[in-house]
Chain A
Amino acid sequence: MLDFLILFLPQFVFRFINPFNILVMEGIIFDIKHYALHDGPGVRQTVFLKGCPLSCWWCHNPESRGSEPFSFRKEEKIDGHVVAEQETVGRKINVQDLMKEIEKDTLLFEESGGGVTFSGGEPLLQFDFMLEALKRCKSHEIHTCVDTTAYVSKEKLQHIAEFTDLFMIDLKQMDDRLHKKYTGVTNVLILENIRRLDAEGKKIWIRYPLIPDMNDQEENLLKMLAFLQRLKQKPVVSILPYHKIGSHKYKRFGLEYKMNGTYEPEPEQIERVKNLFEQAGFIACVGG
């Protein structure tokens, strides 16, 4: 018994009582994508953190929503037979292990001018973990990008801004009533945070998910333009046309998909929106 205590007690204390929080800082992620081309400059490694305060109808990562890992039944077809098994979405990872994974791509980051992108979910829901990971990245000279909803406190944003080279923030809907309807939260804080980061000179890429009937109205586009034009810097605007790629996930995870009537926007419409932004003097691109 004594042996047992000597061997295992320190680990036990370390893991669960966790007096040195920083050393074993753990987060919950649900995916890491290497060779991501659309999540910032160069080739990125995108780390997806679990948990999100929003519940956008069109979300293509619905597995990000809850903050805890969950299991679902997965079926593998082997030789014509179905093998059913439980698969878990989301896993704990400590900062050291995450850094090991990120640093695997160091040479590719250097060659491509890329870096790491933290996405989600909303990465800042796991604030301490994010802060620590960002600090370590910066101390390793890795370009950092945070893909955030900006639906977080200004203090948190300010705090991580020191270690963030680029923010990517969605402008989903300017009308707060519709914003609440389609995302579940108000846009007031989001817009304020964008203004504040901009005023402080932080680099921001704006992403506009173009969702037919939900945020592609003329009025919304004009309001977006007006908002963006009042910013100090001219952010890059990425238009992300709605696509159904994520829809199968809703079924797989047993979630309700509210987008069944929505069509994917036509290329002409995408081009029109792109021109609108370009004529207003923004660098606009589709995807990425």
Chain B
Amino acid sequence: MNKRIEKLRKQSQEAVPRISAERALLITEFYQSSLSRRVSVPVRRALAFKHILENKSLCINEGELIVGERGPAPKAVPTYPEITLHSIHDLEVLDSRPKVWFRVDEETKQIYRDKIIPFWEGQSNRDKIFASMNKEWKAAYEAGVFTEFQEQRAPGHTVLGNKMFRKGFLDLKAEIAVAVDRLDFFNDSKAYAKREELKAMDIAADAIIAFAKRYAAALKKRAGEETNPGRKAELLKMVAICERVPAHAPQTFHEALQHYWFIHLGVITEVNPWDSFNPGRLDQHLFPFYKKEIDEGSLTQETAKELLEAFWVKFNNHPAPPKIGVTAKESSTYTDFALINLGGVKADGSDAVNSLSYLILDVIEEMRILQPGSMIQVSKKNPDRFIKRAARIIRTGFGQPSVFNSDAIVQELLRQGKSLEDARNGGASGCVETGAFGTESYILTGYFNLPKVFEITLNNGTDPVTGKKIGLKTGNPAEFTTFENMMAAFQKQLQYFIDLKIKGNNLIDRIIAENIPVPFLSLVIDDCIANGKDYNDGGARYNTSYIQGVGLGTLTDVLTSVKYNVFDQKKYTLNELLEAALRDFEGDEVLRNDLLNHTPKYGNDDDYADEQAVLIFNLFYESVNGRPTTKGGYFRINMLPTTSHVYFGSVVGASLDGRKAGKPLSEGISPFQGADRKGPSAVIRSAAKIDHLKTGGTLLNQKFNPSLLDDEKGLDALVALIRTYFRMDGHHIQFNVVTADTLRDAQKHPENHKDLIVRVAGYSDYFNDLGEELQNEIIRRTEHSGF
């Protein structure tokens, strides 16, 4: 890392996260204008976007090579009052909470008091959503049966495809003109809506071009003042780049990065979409530029690396927008989940690993920074060398890059009906979510608390934590004479809550489609222009909505415990177990020891336990998969938690696997913390028993003692372990290479471990930034060590 990057990286890491009221002011100003009231909703959104980009402050940091910030400075985070309106109390909480805080100054609060709150109160999308949900939905939501992703943030979740590395926004404007020409006002009842949407896209395209030109002008001014001739030349080069992109397709490596960055800023300024935005298959998109310039001699490997590192810093400058309430609990992190994909296969199915893939791995290793996240796609066609190079980074213990199975991803996408080429151009984003990059709207709608549904089943529809009846009366547990009986009741209860969730999603989809179209995002995702339809209204080629199952390991262990201790061994009655759980096992050490240490557990390749994982998985799958959305797409499942397993655990009482009340659930498809005792090869076999190809992503976490990877043999073994898991269709695996002792020490002496980064669930985070319960959860994960 050279001096410049070192400085930029340091600036980024030391920047203090704070709330900026700039965007809130600008959008409020626009919505109050008479122009806003004269136009259709999509056009209003586009004009608001334009108004923000025309007036927001620009930021050029010292020594930067890629320019553009969402806020006025690094980590100055805007708000989106049209989506979520923060109260003064919310702002105070954001400012004062111990983790994932954002500084809020008095001036910001004053602006909120005087201008933002009076205008938006009761009008935000969040208000509209909660006003539309019925009391059953609210009861389930409040009990922590599921969360709602769209309550504070706009959908998004998507990833850029290759198109935008070959096109400029002027090209898109030409496409829009063609689409407008083709509108059939005689036979198409949607022609007006399409025209308004296309008009909005056209305005958004102009807005981003003008925004780049503002940067060009600012850079030119800066160049005029610059006394250092080297920097002056750089600034002038950047002026030329910002005059060219994103209006035109990029022609150089540097242009391609700046071009993408403008698009990124556009997407995260228009709304506050989940998972920010993502360039996706970066080594594929950039390779033509890289190769051409390296061959011509106009770019060196060193310069390319410097530019990539400058690009990395830009991601790190952008924490996730502030989250509050349940959303803050389910996703308690600054990370905003841009996930760089490397490797995999090309559209023609051949090995996609290239020299740039390796260079980017060097960048990841050198930067050792939270954002962007990174992953390698591993196909059977990729060489072991590629995995081993990544393994050398993984063993340094900051949880990056994570490892995905390309061949499984392609099959998952094909199963959902994507074309073979679109599937091969896809990958994973966010934590582990499968998507057809550049052509799909695939949104997460909320986490779903599987153990909670079973807890409610065992209480005949009542939530034992609150005593409220929130589910169906599916029978008194005393009447469950067989395991199958009990599971039939669970299935009914599950279907009831899934139906509630899906009904809610279908309402929320409409609220968003009608109130928050995203003409800018729609420009860059196919086929919104051709369809004349917004990304949030089914304009994309493919539309998928996910419900994310949480607590598979915990519920597997709970069901296995009942099957083993109650029905098979008859060691305890169901009632005895329920009563002990109600007491949180106070005074039941022997019983709890039986549950913890003498009952089969998921994660040990023991079919007796793993059968329940398959059973739960299949029930969950059947209840969700293939049901229609309002956007012409389908509901699917995936299995990931971010940090919701901690929140969900906090609302579930003591469970029949011996877990104490309020403690975190298992995460992803990983075994419950400490339950896997037969090493990593047994874990991957247990995890592979569910059919990953029926999902849009599963998440498996493994904690390795660093000694397991300290020599070549250990690295080779890791490569073999990954290959083995992937031969069994495993979707994704990631590793925390750290000792529990280190983590315990970090908990006691955070000041000595400021740079300790750990893998949480689908992303990495500073250990110090995690809540205590999550820290404990990671410490308790089984640490596989060498034998």
* Interface, chain A (partner B; CB < 8 A): 33-39, 42-43, 46, 76, 78-79, 81, 83, 85, 104-105, 107-108, 111-112, 114, 288
Contact status B708-A85, CB under 8 Å:
no
Q: Using known A-B contacts A35-B679, A76-B593, A83-B589, determine if residue A111 contacts B724 with beta carbons closer than 8 Å.
A: yes
Q: How far is the CA of A206 from the CA of B783 in the complex (A)?
A: 31
Contact A34 B721 (CB under 8 A): no
Would A79 and B720 be within 8 Å (CB), given that A34-B682, A46-B787, A108-B681 are in contact? no
Interchain CB contact under 8 A, A83 and B681:
no
Choose among A33, A42, A111, A288 the residue with the greatest number of B CB atoms under 10 Å from its CB.
A111
Q: Is B153 an interface residue (CB 8 A)?
A: no
A interface footprint on B684-699 (CB within 8 Å = 1, 0 otherwise): 0100000000000000
Q: How far is the CB of B632 from the nearest CB of chain A, in Å? A: 40
CB of B260, distance to nearest CB on chain A (Å): 36
Residue contact A33 to B787, C-beta cutoff 8 Å: yes
Q: Which 6 A-B pairs have the closest CB atoms?
A: A112-B720, A111-B720, A35-B679, A78-B589, A34-B679, A81-B589
Partner of B723 from the list A39, A42, A104, A111 (CB cut-off 8 Å) is A111
CA distance A288 to B713 in the complex (A): 10
Inside 8 A of B592's CB, which chain A residues have their CB? 78-79
Residue pair B787, A112 in contact (C-beta under 8 Å): no
Q: Answer whether residue B585 sits at the interface, using C-beta atoms and an 8 A cutoff.
A: yes
B728: A residues at CB distance < 8 A:
107
A residues near B727, Cβ cutoff 8 Å: 107, 111
Q: Which of B592, B708, B724, B784 has the most CB of A within 10 A?
A: B724
Task: Return chain A residues, CB-CB under 8 Å to B597.
Answer: 76
Q: Which residues of B contact A (CB under 8 A)?
A: 585-586, 589-590, 592-593, 596-597, 605, 678-682, 685, 708, 713-714, 716-717, 719-721, 723-724, 727-728, 784, 786-787
Least Cβ distance of A182 to chain B in Å?
25
By a CB distance below 8 angstroms, the chain A residues around B708 are 37
CA distance A201 to B680 in the complex (A): 35
Which residues of A lie under 8 Å from residue B685 when comparing CB positions?
Answer: 104
By a CB distance below 8 angstroms, the chain B residues around A288 are 713
A184 to chain B, nearest CB (A): 26
Given the known inter-chain contacts A107-B724, A111-B727, please indicate yes or no for A37 contacting B681, CB distance below 8 A. no
Enumerate chain B residues within 8 angstroms of A79, measured Cβ to Cβ.
585-586, 589, 592
Residue pairs across A and B with Cβ atoms less than 8 A apart, 20 shown, are: A33-B679, A34-B681, A35-B680, A36-B787, A37-B714, A37-B787, A39-B787, A42-B717, A42-B720, A104-B605, A105-B681, A107-B727, A108-B720, A111-B720, A111-B723, A111-B724, A111-B727, A112-B716, A112-B717, A114-B720
Of all chain B residues, which has the CB nearest A45?
Answer: B681
In the assembled complex, the CB of A60 is this many whole angstroms from the nearest CB of chain B, namely 11
| A108 CB contacts on chain B under 8 angstroms | 681, 720-721, 724
* Complex interface: chain B residues within 8 A of A43 (CB): 681, 717, 720-721
Who on chain A is nearest to B713 by CB? Answer: A37
Cα separation A288 to B786 with both chains bound (whole Å): 11
**Min CB–CB distance B378 → chain A (angstroms):** 12
Given A76-B593, A107-B724, A107-B727, residue A35 in contact with residue B585 (CB < 8 A): no
Known: A104-B605, A108-B724. A85 touches B593 (CB 8 A): yes
Q: How far is the CA of A76 from the CA of B681 in the complex (A)?
A: 26
- Write the chain A residue with the least CB distance to B688: A107
**In the complex, A76→B658 CA distance in Å?**
14
In angstroms, Cα B679 to Cα A76, docked, is 21
Chain B, residue nearest A101 (CB): B605
B786 and A37 form a contact (CB under 8 A) = yes
A83 and B590 within 8 A (CB) = yes
CA distance in complex: A114, B787 (Å): 15
Task: Identify 12 new A-B residue pairs, CB closer than 8 A, beyond the known A34-B682, A43-B721, A105-B681.
Answer: A34-B680, A35-B787, A37-B717, A37-B787, A42-B720, A43-B717, A85-B593, A104-B605, A107-B724, A107-B728, A108-B720, A108-B721
The residue of chain B having its C-beta at the shortest distance from the C-beta of A74 within the complex is B597
In the bound assembly, the distance between CA atoms of A105 and B682 in angstroms comes to 8
Residues of chain B within 8 A (CB-CB) of A85 are: 593
Q: Are A35 and B724 CB-contacts (below 8 A) given A76-B593, A79-B592, A83-B589?
A: no
In the complex the two chains form, what is the Cα distance from A150 to B461 in whole Å? Answer: 65
Q: Which of B585, B605, B679, B727 has the most CB of A within 10 A?
A: B679
Q: Judging by beta carbons under 8 Å apart, are A35 and B589 in contact?
A: no
| In the complex, chain B residues whose CB is within 8 Å of the CB of A81 | 589
Q: Which residues of B contact A46 (CB under 8 A)?
A: 787
For B590, the chain A residues whose CB sits under 8 A away are 83
Which A residues lie within 8 Å of B680 (CB)? 34-35
**In this complex, which of A35, A78, A81 has the most chain B Cβ atoms within 10 angstroms of its Cβ?**
A35
Docked-complex contact A35 and B596, CB < 8 angstroms: no
Known: A104-B685, A107-B727, A288-B713. A35 touches B721 (CB 8 A): yes
A78 to B784 Cα, complex, angstroms:
22
What residues on A are CB-neighbors of B723 within 8 Å?
Answer: 111
Complex CA–CA separation, A36 to B590 (angstroms): 33
- Kindly list chain B residues whose C-beta atoms are within 8 Å of the C-beta of A111: 719-721, 723-724, 727
Chain B residues with CB under 8 Å of A76's CB are 593, 597
Q: Which residues of chain B have C-beta atoms less than 8 A from A83's C-beta?
A: 589-590, 593
Question: How distant is the Cα of A35 from the Cα of B713 in the complex, in angstroms?
Answer: 12
- On whether A35 and B717 interact (CB within 8 A), knowing A107-B728, A111-B723, A111-B727, the answer reads yes
CB-based nearest B residue for A39: B787
> Cα distance A81–B585 when bound, in Å?
12
Q: Compute how far the CA of A46 lies from the CA of B681 in the bound complex, rounded to whole angstroms.
A: 13
Distance from A123 Cβ to chain B, minimum over Cβ atoms (Å): 17
Query: Residues of A contacting B716 with CB < 8 Å?
Result: 42, 112
A188 to B593, CA, bound (A): 50
Give complex CA distance A76, B680 in Å: 24
Residue of A nearest to B598 (CB): A85
A281 to chain B, nearest CB (A): 22
**Chain B's nearest CB lies how many Å from the CB of A64?**
15
CB < 8 Å neighbour of B678 from A34, A38, A112: A34
Expressed in whole angstroms, the Cα–Cα distance for A76 and B716 within the complex equals: 36
| A35 to B: closest C-beta gap in Å | 4
Q: Is the CB of B784 within 8 A of A35?
A: yes
Whether B593 contacts A35 by the Cβ 8 Å rule is no
In the complex, A216 Cα to B723 Cα: how many Å? 41
| Beta-carbon contact of A78 and B720 below 8 Å | no
Which residues of B are found within 8 Å of A107, using beta-carbon distances?
Answer: 724, 727-728
Q: Which residues of chain A are near B786, meaning CB under 8 Å?
A: 37-38
> In the assembled complex, which residues on chain A have CB atoms less than 8 Å from the CB atom of B589?
78-79, 81, 83
Question: In the complex, which of the residues A78, A79, A81, A104 has the most CB atoms of chain B within 10 Å of its own CB atom?
Answer: A78
Name the CB-closest residue of A to B717: A43
- Which residues from chain B contact A33 at a C-beta distance below 8 Å? 679, 787
Distance A35 CA – B717 CA, assembled complex (angstroms)? 8
Give the Cβ gap from A42 to chain B, nearest Cβ, in Å. 7
Flag if B714 contacts A35 (CB, 8 Å). Answer: no
Q: Is the CB of A38 within 8 A of B605?
A: no
Residue of B nearest to A80 (CB): B589
The residues of B that contact A37 with a CB separation of less than 8 Å are 708, 713-714, 717, 786-787
Min Cβ gap B596→A in Å is 7
Question: What is the CA–CA distance of A108 and B724 in the complex, to the nearest angstrom?
Answer: 6
Determine the residue in chain B with the shortest Cβ distance to A82.
Answer: B589
Contacts of A38 in B (CB 8 A): 786-787
Q: Once the chains are docked, how many angstroms separate the CA of A46 from the CA of B679?
A: 12
Give the chain B neighbours of A78 by CB distance below 8 A.
Answer: 589, 592-593, 596
Give Cα A76 to B598, complex, Å.
12
Bound Cα distance from A108 to B728, whole angstroms? 11
With CB as the reference atom, state the residue of chain B lying closest to A85.
B593
CB distance from A171 to the nearest CB of B (A): 22
Chain B residues within an 8 Å CB radius of A36: 787
Give the interface centre of A36, A81, A112 by most chain B CB atoms within 10 Å.
Answer: A112
Whole-angstrom distance between the Cβ of A40 and the nearest chain B Cβ: 11
Complex Cα gap A256–B315 (Å)? 60
Most buried by B among A83, A105, A108: A108
- Complex formed: what's the CA distance from A264 to B102 in Å? 51
| CB-CB nearest in chain A for B682 | A34
